[in-house]
Amino acid sequence: MKFITGDLSGLFIIEPKIFVDDRGCFYETFSKTIFEKNTGFSGDFVQDNESISYKNVLRGLHFQDPPHAQAKLVRVTEGKVLDVAVDIRKGSSTYGQYQAILLSAENKRMFFIPEGFAHGFVALTERVVFNYKCSNLYHPEAERGIIWNDPTLGIDWKTEGPIVSEKDRKLANFDKFVSLF
């Protein structure tokens, strides 16, 4: 696996080594030892999630407050998304900045997002299967978010007229947000 340091401290893009022959391909998607050595993340992933989204569905920007914060290792097994992580660590020099990357079944990239980041994605193909490894269980009372189209953040989602849930349309603007990280 190749670990590429993200634009913001703590983020990593992971490119698996893919073995291809006339039967198909094989690649390792996770090794705790290799992952910890390259990211410094020594926690455990305790919950795996999968979502299916259709073109222009935008999910996010989500996170859980401490002590229920989640680090996430995400990847796409069908389709293509623009995946976004926003730094919400108030002591960070990149607070309020984001990184966006393309994840797809074709490029097989993974994105590691540590605690202290809001996360979201938009489906760029007709159907997307999105997988998450999470370092903490889902706790609805700790769930928070930032509105996807916040003018302070200025995220270019690469889509016109995204489909956003009612819940996500009611999320707070970044300038009204108080970080607990």
CB 70 within 8 A of CB 134: yes
Query: Is residue 119 flagged as an active site residue?
Result: no
Taking the C-alpha atoms of residue 101 and residue 113, their distance in angstroms, rounded to an integer, is 12
Specify the amino acid at residue 177: F
Is 132 designated active site? yes
Cα gap 164→161, rounded to integer Å: 9
Coil/strand/helix, residue 92: coil
Catalytic residue (choose from 54, 132, 138, 139): 132
Give the pair of three-digit tokens for residue 19.
């073995």
Are 123 and 114 in contact, with CB atoms under 8 Å apart? no
Options 27, 54, 62, 95, the catalytic residue: 62
Per-residue burial over 19-31, b if 16 or more Cβ lie within 10 Å, else e, is eeeeeeeeeeeee
What residue has token string 């108080």?
Answer: 178
Catalytic (active-site) positions: 62, 132
